[in-house]
Structure 1
Amino acid sequence: MKSSTTKATSSRLKKAAEKKSSGRSSMVDSIKAITLSGFNIDKQQLKEKITYPEYLRLAMKQAILAKDIDAQQVKRLFEVGNSGGGVVEAPLVVFINSNSGGRHGPKLKERLQALMAQEQVFDLQDVKPHEFVQYGLACLEKFAALGDNCAKETREKLRVVVAGGDGTVGWVLGCLGDLHKQGRNPVPPTAIIPLGTGNDLSRSFGWGGSFPYNWKSAMKRTLNDVTEGPTCRLDSWNISVSMPAGKELQTPYSLKMIEEVALDQELAAETELPEKVSCYQGVFYNYFSVGMDAKVAYGFHHLRNEKPYLAQGPISNKLIYSGYSCSQGWFFTPCTSAPSLRGLNNILRLHIKKVNCSTWERVPIPSSVRSVVALNLPSYGSGRHPWGNLKPDYMEKRGFVEAHADDGFLEIFGLKQGWHASLVMVELISAKHIAQASSIRFELRGGEWERAYMQIDGEPWKQPMSRDYSTYVEIKRVPFQSIMVYGDQ
């Protein structure tokens, strides 16, 4: 039985998913945002509302620059500024990826700095979110422990805004999640200014699918909404990759190499394990996929890195992405027996823990499926809903529950080929439903296939495979949830 808070969260996320459903393009979202400008919000009143005292801003900045909360400059600022009191109404900090959003990134940074103190706007090119957590927030916590009530109130009320795409949002959420592990509560709730291409996290939590045309005035309304918006919860998922050692793996920044990862002992490996393994671990919030969609994404990212002048914004990115997908055999599959054109069931085994079940179960992959996706959010591929709105009798028959971003389950579905994926994306049909799961293990074994393609939250990589040993990918829910601010745009 879900709590009232969880029900409210699920209701808001469902509303957001319906609002951003099929046929609602990013262009339409942006035009709609024109009517939601911030003309009625007084700039000076907003600044006073969201800005916290100067001595705290400077102390946090110095602590981050020195990478030391006990630096002499930080101590002096405490001695000069500590009053033991003060009122902080709704303090905010903003992380901006100034490289996102095409030409809007640098201009947006300037606008945000004009709406609040400059020290409250952190460019991710200069200050990484883990540095903010390790030194900036720790500075506030130290001041509070020394009796500074203003620092204490700022730390307790602080909210975070991320201006960037899904990858940037996930990066910040992951660093804020370290506060849970360290017992440093509360974790600041997070809101989003969409600057990416798909912006599915932003869509899912009511912050829109694209950067608004009237962004200068819209920023006032956005920042004000962040201070007043209700909070929601978001599941995060730990992913670990264990592969035979010896082959180089170029992973996205969200997947880091670690010394060792232990496979779940409740599910015994069906094949012999290698003596030496290479292990990687990370966290995702939206989806993990393996197969043709990840291959297309990998090619697109490679092309964009080689020729960045081709991708100057969300619309051009989508056009390039669509064109690239047509050249990869995603739509046109020759009638040959080439191994690279066969279904994933030739290289992939899937085990899951189902809803309300604590034991592992083998789930077959349909032979027609060329891409498998494990989805957390109600939004995928720029606001689409491939899982669909399932009827109660069908869900009961399949053992499914209603899908939400905070329900502790991933929806696993398959895409057959480009034509099938296209119909799914325009929501004329649902994807191939495979399972709902609280834990997942993918086992991949090579042969004539030398590699597979994978991605998490839009960050793809090329995964080498061995003929002799399997590669394992395990996905389990992180025990704590991220706290989001719901925007209701």
Structure 2
Amino acid sequence: MLLETSLCDVCEEECDVPNQIDFQCAWCLRTVHTDCKPKIAEVCDFGPYKKFVIPPNCVTLETKRAGVRFRKSHVITIHDPGWTPWTPLIVLGNRKSGNGDGSHVLSTFRRLLNPLQVVDLADKSPEEALHWVTLVPSRGQSLILAAGGDGTAAWILNTIHSMKMDPAPSVGIIPLGTGNDLSRVLGWGKLFNKDSCSAFQILDSLTRSQVAHLDRWSVQIKSIRQLRLTRAIKSKWMYNYLSIGVDAQVALDFHNTRESSLYICSSRAFNKFLYLTFGTQQAMERLCKDLEQRIELYLDGTRVNLPPIESVVVLNIPSWAAGVDLWKLGRDSEDGTSCSEDQKMDDAKIEVMALYSSFHIARLQVGLSEPLKLGQASQVKIKLLNKTPMQIDGEPWLQPPAMIILSHVDKANVLMLSTETE
């Protein structure tokens, strides 16, 4: 099927009209009428987006038997096509993401790129998908588009780090699902809309994008036993934010509901309704009341005196809870400590804020209140004295007593769009 409003590349008249046979190239997607076909070149030039394409003649496959009746192909080498510039693009996503939008994104990009460059994470792990990048000749500066939420982007960034890829490919985001705080900060928007944004527009934006750096933070969680003995350290990575308290409790309640067998509706409107319901519930129950008595907070080794609060938020980017710029909204600490430095995502510092209640969060989201700035630091330690809900980049759980240490590791390469390309 031809793309909508396809025009003949020769005469520029409309194609795909009744009783007329037209041709379309599977690679450059140019269309021509039968009568115009002799006037175009015999060899495809891969079109205006060829800098993102790995042509089929540059891929060597190895086929192995997978069971009695099936064979499975693996890419073993990729050759340089000789184009300048050449920045091969890999699109990674889950077809189940975004109420079906993930499937639409993957199928659309399979038409524009080599289908092997588009990987469904429902079928393959990021390690398998990123095997492409390790095979690309060193001249090719690989780019990655993560079709999904912030969790998908973090998953891919973690995989790049664990695979020790050098040079590390830069990652852009096609935002699906809810939240999408990292996508907002990088200029990719709050939500992909297939009705108003085409794959061609995404590739045009990608052409104008710039490489930026995003601090990668190590989160070490050392559980504490009753007898003061410590267990093995559990390590995680953080790119967006970490929080302990009421907002993590709301995220945990939502997560548990979504994992339940009774969860049968996955629309964005219903998900927002659930968040509102759980937020209202916490405003009444206040399970995280007196959090200041259940934790100890240290910024660069100095203990911070906490007022009555229900949440502590550690920020790496200027977006939280679907677009709230907490640091910009916040006021200085009640002890007079100045927190006037601007927030940056690549300065090896993180910002620490305090929230008073679930109702306080609701007011923040409509700009009617301000959080409490606790400070900026290169290292943050939080000692949990009791079992407390916490989350890292949208992944919530109930954490037993532990010492939590956040330390800067390095920087990830990400793709940022300017305001004009957003």
TM-score, with length taken from structure 1: 0.69
Whether 1:331 and 2:283 are equivalent positions in the alignment is yes
Instruction: Tell me, yes or no, if the aligned pair for 2:59 and 2:79 is still in contact at 8 Å.
Output: no
Q: Which runs of 5+ in 2 are unaligned?
A: 8-27, 31-46, 67-71
What corresponds to 1:95 in structure 2? 92
Q: Secondary structure at the match of 1:103?
A: helix
What corresponds to 1:398 in structure 2? 338
Q: Secondary structure at the match of 2:135?
A: helix
How far apart in 1 are the matches of 2:73 and 2:194?
45
Q: Which amino acid aligns with 2:303?
A: R
Q: Which amino acid aligns with 1:347?
A: R
Aligned ranges 1:262-411 → 2 under 5 Å: 273-274=228-229, 276-307=230-261, 309-327=263-281, 330-333=282-285, 340=287, 342-353=289-300, 360-367=301-308, 369-388=309-328, 398-411=338-351
Q: Which amino acid aligns with 1:431?
A: P
How far apart in 2 are the matches of 1:165 and 1:83?
32
CA shift in 2, pair 1:300/1:47, >3 Å: same
Q: Which amino acid aligns with 2:236?
A: G
Instruction: Tell me, yes or no, if the aligned pair for 1:352 and 1:437 is still in contact at 8 Å.
Output: yes
What corresponds to 2:42 in structure 1? none
Q: CA RMSD in A?
A: 3.2
Whether 1:243 and 2:223 are equivalent positions in the alignment is yes
Instruction: Tell me, yes or no, if the aligned pair for 1:372 and 1:412 is still in contact at 8 Å.
Output: yes
What corresponds to 2:397 in structure 1? 461
Q: Which amino acid aligns with 2:161?
A: G
Instruction: Tell me, yes or no, if the aligned pair for 1:57 and 1:120 is still in contact at 8 Å.
Output: no
CA shift in 2, pair 1:72/1:379, >3 Å: closer
The partner residue of 1:487 within 389, 413, 417 is: 417
What corresponds to 2:211 in structure 1? 231
Of structures 1 and 2, the one scoring higher in RCO (CA 8 A, sep 6+) is 1
How far apart in 2 are the matches of 1:152 and 1:111?
28
The partner residue of 2:126 within 126, 129, 145 is: 129
Q: Secondary structure at the match of 2:322?
A: coil
What corresponds to 1:195 in structure 2? 176
What corresponds to 1:177 in structure 2? 161
How far apart in 2 are the matches of 1:84 and 1:58?
13
Aligned length: 373
Q: Which runs of 5+ in 1 are unaligned?
A: 1-37, 66-70, 141-150, 247-271, 335-339, 354-359, 466-470
Offset of 1:426 from its aligned partner?
Answer: 1.4
CA shift in 2, pair 1:84/1:419, >3 Å: closer
Whether 1:472 and 2:403 are equivalent positions in the alignment is yes
Whether 1:49 and 2:51 are equivalent positions in the alignment is yes
Q: Judging by fraction of residues, say which structure has more strand.
A: 2
Instruction: Tell me, yes or no, if the aligned pair for 2:211 and 2:416 is still in contact at 8 Å.
Output: yes
Alpha-carbon displacement from aligned partner over 1:334-380 (angstroms, at most 9, x marks no partner): 8xxxxx45311111001111xxxxxx10111212x101110111111
What corresponds to 1:159 in structure 2? 143
How far apart in 1 are the matches of 2:359 and 2:6?
45
Instruction: Tell me, yes or no, if the aligned pair for 2:246 and 2:288 is still in contact at 8 Å.
Output: no
How far apart in 2 are the matches of 1:84 and 1:164?
30
Offset of 1:435 from its aligned partner?
Answer: 1.5
Q: Which has the larger radius of gyration?
A: 2
Q: Which amino acid aligns with 1:487?
A: L
Instruction: Tell me, yes or no, if the aligned pair for 2:97 and 2:103 is still in contact at 8 Å.
Output: no
Instruction: Tell me, yes or no, if the aligned pair for 2:330 and 2:372 is still in contact at 8 Å.
Output: no
Q: Which amino acid aligns with 2:198?
A: A
Instruction: Tell me, yes or no, if the aligned pair for 1:90 and 1:227 is still in contact at 8 Å.
Output: no
Q: Structure 1 segments of 4 or more deviating over 4 A?
A: 55-59, 71-75, 81-88, 307-311, 389-392
